[in-house]
Chain A
Amino acid sequence: MNVMEINIFGELLIIPTDVIAAWVLMIIGVPPVLYWITKKRHWPLIWDYATSTNHRKVGTLYIFFSVLFFFRAGIDALLIRLQLATPENQFWVFQGEKYNEIFTTHGTMMIFFVATPLLIGLMNVAVPLQIGANDLAFPFLNLIGLYLFVTGGTIFFLAFFFNAAPNVGWTAYTPLSTEDFTSGPNNNYYIMGLQVSGLGTIFAAINMIVTILRLRAPGLKLTRMPLFPWATLFTSFLILVAFPVLAIALLLLQFDRFYGATFFLGPQGHPVYWQHLFWIFGHPEVYILALPAFGIFSDIISNFSRKNVFGYTSMVLSLALIGLLGLMVWAHHMFTVGLGPFANTFFAITTMMIAVPTGIKIFNWLFTMRRGVIRMQTPMMFALGFIPTFVMGGVTGVMLASAAADMQYHDTYFVVAHFHYVIIGSTIFGAFAGIYYWYPKITGKMLNDKLGKWHFWLFLIGFHLTFFPQHLAGLNGMPRRVYDYTWEDGVFVYNFISTIGAFLMGGSMLFLIWNIYRAHRKKEENVGGDPWDGRTLEWTVPSPSPEHPFEKMPIIDRRDMLWWAKTQDKPIPVEEHPRAIPISTPTVQPMLIAAALFILSFGFIYHWIWVQVVGGILVLVFFVNRAFKDERIPAYEKEESEDEY
């Protein structure tokens, strides 16, 4: 049964059964959770996290919601794989329109509401501690960024429940995404969801840049920073360049859709303009996802090899170079558009050049391990899994860069395989490594190593089973974004293996859930500040990291200061008169601003003028209120009066 007809007030509603199943699941599933929270008296804890501007708590929430969205988008992936398991398959409702909705949701969610915020969450948790800062430079802005991400994600998430999921792919190519070809609210959800969360991402980037440039501990020169803060710094600059372009592109698309502007179709407009704008954002976005993961791996490989990073300077320079080159390769997504051979070869060559700094990083990681003592614990396992996986994704990237050959690869499963190799290989492996690595710093508890290894191996094997055959399916002529293929296409075996692999990956995630549940089931003792025998500053503070971890600022005079102190058996010297700390007071304002934006967004999505007006006024009121009423003022006054004595 694919649809259900429901008669409400004389109006016939036709609802697909998957939407009904989701609603039923929610109605059955949510009350027990609420009951459990109430019974265990967790509401104060939740309220504390919802209003706190502390970087660790904000970071934890980023990670929590990203993982939640990861499960949602992962289930989408499994449904996609079920539909594609055999030729001419008719799995449940997932053909035609429904299939288009589900791959759009999977892609958009994974990129914007899983990969990006997962990394921002880890930055939030680790970067301030690694550079000896007591918090991010703008704690209030940080919490707003979190709420904008959660709100954007929720708007996008809800689309499916109102049977209006976006259906034009995460790239939303015009003119298919304009009102003429896809009317209705579906793609308005895409625009508003990304617009709201994109703003939050920009805020987070500004915050990271200022924090890293201004709040480092005394003596911690930029050249003494660990590589994760370095990667965060470059990533934040990339976000500042890329995300405003996305915001503009979405705004233009919104004008095309809502008010009949013709930026992307018609006598003045052109559909290819969208592709330029989208990829000027979209390609740096790939590096926004990869660079922080590189940073995490650098720290972890160094830590678990008990050795400093090999070729530190070239590691930093290659991060910078990858970021810079990442801004000038966007048209390699458009080799088949007909930009002409000059543009095509130009972008082919710039793209190939990226392989050089990336190669430098790979070899430096390998040589960091050489002559070290490699401890095979879960974070390191993910880092080790990353190296060959990412290299395989990288080399197909170079193959794709070859413009004339790309005319064969383009928009086939070869490309699908390639970008899953690089994004899962770097971002998701990196995020898992980071979560296992910093989990003690976030909670004071350690995740079980044995379960972690089960998670790792199943995920790795499932991953290669899923995506390796897709290269071959693509070379055999299977285009991406098709819900169906025939026996004559000769891609059945590849797809069937792919489906098996996908379920292995899905199954491996259960080990993570079980691991986290196990860690919190009983009150075990705290693992202490330095469970991994670390090298960097975050391991000098207690776990979980307290509100003002560096009350006395450490004075740094070299890289890997903690390691040096441990091997020399000397304490890290501290500054007696620390500088002013960013003030963090609990606040509900970000929540209210996000709620107002939520109302405004739904006004736009459904063209309800009055809701737009109310939402808009509310947002403005909160801005003005914030401008004149700063809840930190009492704290500042207190600090000033203390300084006088």
Chain B
Amino acid sequence: MKKLLMLTFLFLLSGCNLRTLDPVSETASDQAFLIKLGFWIMMVVVGVVTILFVAFTLKYRETDKNRYDIPKHEEGNRTLEIIWTVLPIILLVCLAIPTVIITYQASNISANPEETVHVNVTGEQFKWTFEYENGKKTHEKLVLPVNRDVIFHLKSKDVIHSFWVPRLAGKKDVIPGTVNKLEVVPNKTGTYQGKCAEFCGILHADMRFTTEVVSQQDFEEWLSSKKK
């Protein structure tokens, strides 16, 4: 039990700089909120079970005194059983409602042709290709403007990959024969890790890229330059 508490403490301690909990877009913030909400609601459950568990195992363990006792037959207790059916349902509803809202938001792709930056993302064993609207192509580096709508169009040349920039948004699978879309608005400049999250073969681990979120001006300059 002590271990459980200690580990929880560890969890909280290191929670501040874990990538998925350090979001740089609205989408990732929503997801980080859900992660934290789920965690705290579930800590209530873990807490209640731990208290009962410790109390019962300490209080009712076999001792020299009760060694030959025969406990009373106990069929059940309707009130208690209703309590531990209803309370979890209430806790789950608290998690389910934001889950539904955020899941719908995350899947919603807006159509604003003026402002939006479209990037065609192609996954193949074992590299990524990022193609911008003006035809510019990169492989190792994905450059995005800050505070602008970006829509990724995800395609695969061979097997299933998964496009994931943990600090930017949850992952989306890249499936042959299908075009998946993912929309984000990065709200902080910086350099972030990108990875393939779906196992895709021998060099799956090396299928990485860096995401650079830069100011809108820098982005336009970079886009029109020949520089990679």
Contacts and interface: CB of A to CB of B under 8 A. Distances in A.
Interface of A: 96-97, 100, 168-169, 173, 175-176, 180-182, 265, 270-272, 305-308, 310-314, 336-338, 340-341, 344-345, 348-349, 352-353, 355-356, 359-360, 362-364, 366-367, 369-376, 384, 387-388, 391-392, 395-396, 398-399, 401-412, 461, 464, 468, 471-472, 475-477, 479-485, 488-490, 567
Contacts of A479: 164, 195-197
B203 interface: yes
B201 A176 contact: yes
B119 interface: no
A181 B124 CA distance: 12
Interface of B: 1, 3-4, 7, 10-11, 14-15, 17-21, 28, 30-32, 34-35, 38-39, 41-43, 45-46, 49-50, 52-53, 56-57, 60-62, 66-67, 69-77, 80-81, 84-85, 88-89, 92, 95-96, 99-100, 102-108, 125, 158-160, 162, 164, 166, 169-173, 175-178, 180, 193, 195-206
Contacts of B1: 388
Q: Top 5 A-B pairs ranked by shortest CB distance?
A: A407-B170, A395-B42, A482-B205, A311-B76, A405-B34
Contacts of B41: 398
Nearest to A372: B71
12 contacts: A100-B204, A338-B172, A364-B81, A369-B60, A373-B67, A398-B95, A407-B106, A407-B169, A411-B171, A472-B14, A477-B164, A477-B195
Most chain B Cβ neighbours within 10 Å, of A100, A359, A375, A402: A402
Nearest to B106: A404
B31 A176 contact: no
A403 B84 contact: no
Nearest to B202: A96
Nearest to B32: A408
B63 to A, nearest CB: 9
> Looking at chain A's contact residues, is the secondary structure mostly helix, strand, loop, or mixed?
helix
Given A181-B201, A336-B171, A369 B57 contact: yes
Contact of A402 (B28, B95, B171, B180): B95
A204 B125 CA distance: 42
Contact of B76 (A97, A313, A471): A313
Contacts of A375: 62
B176 A176 contact: no
Nearest to A483: B205
Contact of B69 (A308, A344, A373): A373
Contact of B38 (A265, A271, A405, A481): A405
A322 B169 CA distance: 32
Contacts of B198: 173, 411
A373 B71 contact: yes
Given A265-B177, A272-B175, A374-B57, A355 B92 contact: yes
A464 B162 contact: no
Most chain A Cβ neighbours within 10 Å, of B43, B49, B95: B49
Nearest to B208: A486
Contacts of A401: 99
B92 A403 contact: no
A399 B38 contact: yes
B128 to A, nearest CB: 14
A472 B11 contact: yes
Nearest to A346: B100
A370 B61 CA distance: 10
A320 to B, nearest CB: 15
